[in-house]
Amino acid sequence: MMLDAPLAPELETDAGRGPTADAATRLKIIDGDVHPAPRSLADVKAYLPARWREHLDEYGSRRKLGMGYEPYPKSAPRACRRDAWPEDGGNPGSDLDLIRAQYLDAYGIEYGILGPLGVTGQSELNGEFSAALATATNDWQREHFTRPEPRLRSAIVVPSEHAEAAVAEIEARADDPAYAQVFMLTRTAEPLGNRRYWPIYAAAERHGLPVGMHVFGSGGHAYTGAGWPSYYVEEGAGHSTSCQTAVTSLVIEGVFERFPRLKVVMIEGGFAWLAPLAWRLDKLFERMRSEVPHLKKKPSEYIRQHIWVTTQPMEEPDDRRHLFDTMEWIGWDRLLFASDYPHWDFDDPFRAFPAGLPKERHRQILTGNGRAVYRLP
Amino acid sequence: MSDTWTGAIDCDMHPRLPSPRALSQFMDAHWRETVEVRGIDYWESIAYPANAPLTVRPDWRESGADADPVAAARETLDRFGFAHAICNCLFPVQAFRDENLAAAFARATNDWLAATWLDQDPRFKGSVVLPLQSPEKAVEEIERRARDRRFVQVLTLAMGEHPLGKSMYWPVWAAAERHGFAIGIHAGSSYHHALTGSGWPTYYLEDYAAQALGFHTQLGSLICEGVFVKYPKLKAVLIESGVTWLPPYLWRLGKFWRGVRNEVPWIDREPYEFVRDNVRLTLQPFDGPPAAEHIGRVLDQLRCDDMLLFSTDFPHWQFDGDDMLPPGIPAGLRRKILIDNPLATYPRLGRHP
């Protein structure tokens, strides 16, 4: 079949703009996914109370992965860019000077929203330890990153499976402007719309904080309903499925009926899946409304109002019109730029988007939309 | 207007299955007695709740046509002039944990289909339900059916114990390729795992929505494990998958493959090329955009006119009236979807029209 012009209106393209553009004319980029790391676990451990420091020494972090690291070896050490390793031997994402030089200054980042991964309390089997690790992670982020570098905004990591402690963590941080979002992972014990997580959403809504849901984590289940794939390439491509489970569950359980001001950002699962998911859910809703009488609107309407998606890793169809169509279907105001710095599949804000993206749309995704979502100074 | 469907091949329809006890009449004495003594008189999956709106369209529920091959032929084959309809039995063989029970019920289900629907009307074709709990027993079942040309594909579910590309299943795919069977992967789960990587959703609506995610896993697995490199003539048919999830998933898979292809060095071309050459999708349900004028733009994302197969998904309620195809499909593509693509997908159909 033949396509005519893309659905998006043709606007001026952004050709020629790049990281060397003059600072005064630069876009002020808001990046929805930057990963800070401790030089070593000792950095975070310093913020744990003695009781849990000893626990960590004796028993280690025991996550629902069955092992200390991810079950799929990455494509590179720590899944990081090879040029992002600091000279002091710490992990990529741990050296503020390198982050500034290589990323914040080089690209003109106004704000980078942090999303700590690794041993942060998420997926930890011991609930109390999970809460202690989240608290330590949040202190560490603020002290090591946001305080010395206000362009990096902290996330309130919550122990997702321990709602009581998660709410306490949000309440303790909510008045501190260092924190821009609440942070959860998408692979959880139950789909994320389940009532066990509602107290977290209530607290986030109460304080006007968006909830970022980043791929990864483990809820203690096979990573797919069809069992465990063999390869990292399958796991990586499959991250969009945990995002779809989360969005489906949030919508169908009625989370957005109960919390009408709640904002949710899906992080690092790409975005193109959102359009067909909304179409599928609308059809099923029409067919089986009797099962979900608590829903007052079509699923696509809740999605359009409450869900944002970060763009990384950018989908790359051969025909860029397919991508522009998809962005149009999702809604240009729903897309948030994310770089995933310092990971190997980093998206460059100026090169990740296909040529021909209308300039105003590019600007909106890089800067305007993020300003409307995150709690920023 | 009914002549516009003449000669079409319905690649997914569902006979209503009899009770386990009725199926046991197709078993030997040992298994008949097992069903009796152990009281296996109820074995229903939660995948299609009998009275849920999606499971049976209201007019078909009223007529009971899915329980009777004569009535079903009247309401579909005769009414539209279909050449063939492929019967996919959804008896939950896959839910057994005991591979012997699974094999006994798979065999009985296939015997039952042959003796009832296939004997009743030569336009009905069958899929071989596989006891995939044991690849060895699945191969035996394929060999047993291979001479009956009325069976045109083997049937698995979107979510079983392991992703289908794993090498433990390769003898099954080898047998399927050897005998010209397509591999049908149908929506549904063995429920041997939580339905999603994040646990069990609350509502049936979510369960059905999540079936599309199972197809993500299976497609990624078949491609990345190298099944289509090893068995290049194989056709995998994704049945009742929803269709429009596919391009976004392929964009991701293609990008990850470019990034980390040293992990799977036997994959020597873009994942999309395997899909174009080896993967087909039935067209109901079609999770399309609400605006009819956008449907062509979604179909264009498939980049190939050979991939879609006509299906009614009878008696599931996917469409009303006779709206069996999404609107806006040009005449040339329509003919391919209705006739040419199914014939190219199912070689065993062509040999015995």
Q: What angle do CA B351, B177, B237 make, to 5 degrees?
A: 85
Is residue B241 domain-resident? Answer: yes
**B202 contacts in chain A (CB < 8 Å):** 191, 193-194, 249, 252-253
* Number of domains chain B is built from: 1
How close does chain A come to B12, measured CA to CA in Å? Answer: 19
- Which of A194, A287, A325 is nearest residue B202 as measured by Cβ atoms? A194
**B299 contacts in chain A (CB < 8 Å):** 1
B128 DSSP β-pair partners: B154
- In chain B, % of residues over pLDDT 70: 98
Q: Which positions of chain B have pLDDT values less than 50? A: 1-2, 352-353
**A80 contacts in chain B (CB < 8 Å):** none
pLDDT exceeds 50 at position A182: yes
State the pLDDT at residue A12: 47
Find the mean pLDDT for residues A79-84. Answer: 94
Q: Determine whether the interchain pair A221/B194 forms a contact, defined as Cβ–Cβ distance below 8 Å.
A: yes
Q: Determine whether the interchain pair B206/A191 forms a contact, defined as Cβ–Cβ distance below 8 Å.
A: yes
| A69-93 residues labelled b (16+ CB within 10 A) or e (exposed) | ebebebbbebbbbeebbbeeebbbb
What CATH number is given to the structural domain containing B263? 3.20.20.140
List, in sequence order, every beta strand (DSSP E) within chain B: 9-13, 84-87, 124-129, 151-159, 182-189, 236-239, 279-282, 308-309
Is residue B201 domain-resident? Answer: yes
ipTM of the complex: 0.97
Q: Determine whether the interchain pair B216/A240 forms a contact, defined as Cβ–Cβ distance below 8 Å.
A: yes
**B209 contacts in chain A (CB < 8 Å):** 244, 248, 252, 277, 280-281, 284
Nearest chain B residue to A243 by CA: give it.
Answer: B198
Listed residue (B140, B132, B127) closest to B163, CA to CA: B132
Nearest chain B residue to A187 by CA: give it.
Answer: B198
Q: Is B334 exposed, middle or buried (0-12, 13-18, 19+ CB in 10 A)?
A: middle
Listed residue (B245, B208, B243) closest to B55, CA to CA: B208
- In chain B, % of residues over pLDDT 90: 95
- Which of A1, A225, A277 is nearest residue B159 as measured by Cβ atoms? A225
Backbone angles phi, psi at A373, to 5 degrees: -105, -50
State the pLDDT at residue A1: 41
- How far is A281 from A304, CA to CA, in rounded Å? 13
For residues B110 and B147, is the Cβ–Cβ distance under 8 A?
no
C-alpha separations of A349 from A181, B177, B231, B341 in Å: 21, 46, 41, 42
pLDDT exceeds 50 at position A294: yes
- In chain A, % of residues over pLDDT 70: 93
The mean-pLDDT minimum among A65-74, A285-294, A338-347 falls in: A65-74
| pLDDT single digits (tens) A313-331 | 999 999 999 999 999 999 9
Q: What angle do CA A240, A277, B338 make, to 5 degrees?
A: 110
Q: Where are the domains of chain A?
A: 25-373
Encoded amino acid at B62, one letter: E
State the pLDDT at residue A23: 52
Q: Determine whether the interchain pair B242/A276 forms a contact, defined as Cβ–Cβ distance below 8 Å.
A: yes
For residues B207 and B47, is the Cβ–Cβ distance under 8 A?
yes
- B259 is in which domain, residue-wise? 2-345
- Which of B164, B224, B252 is nearest residue A315 as measured by Cβ atoms? B252
B9-13/B84-87 β-pairing: parallel
How close does chain B come to A209, measured CA to CA in Å? Answer: 24
Q: What is the largest CA-CA distance in chain A?
A: 66
Nearest chain B residue to A269 by CA: give it.
Answer: B252
Is residue B353 domain-resident? Answer: no
Is residue B7 domain-resident? Answer: yes
What confidence category does residue A65 fall into, taking pLDDT thresholds of 50, 70 and 90?
A: confident
How close does chain B come to A86, measured CA to CA in Å? Answer: 23
| pLDDT single digits (tens) B76-127 | 999 999 999 999 999 999 999 999 999 999 999 999 999 999 999 999 999 9
pLDDT exceeds 70 at position A216: yes
Q: Per CATH, the architecture of A25-373 is what? A: Alpha-Beta Barrel (3.20)
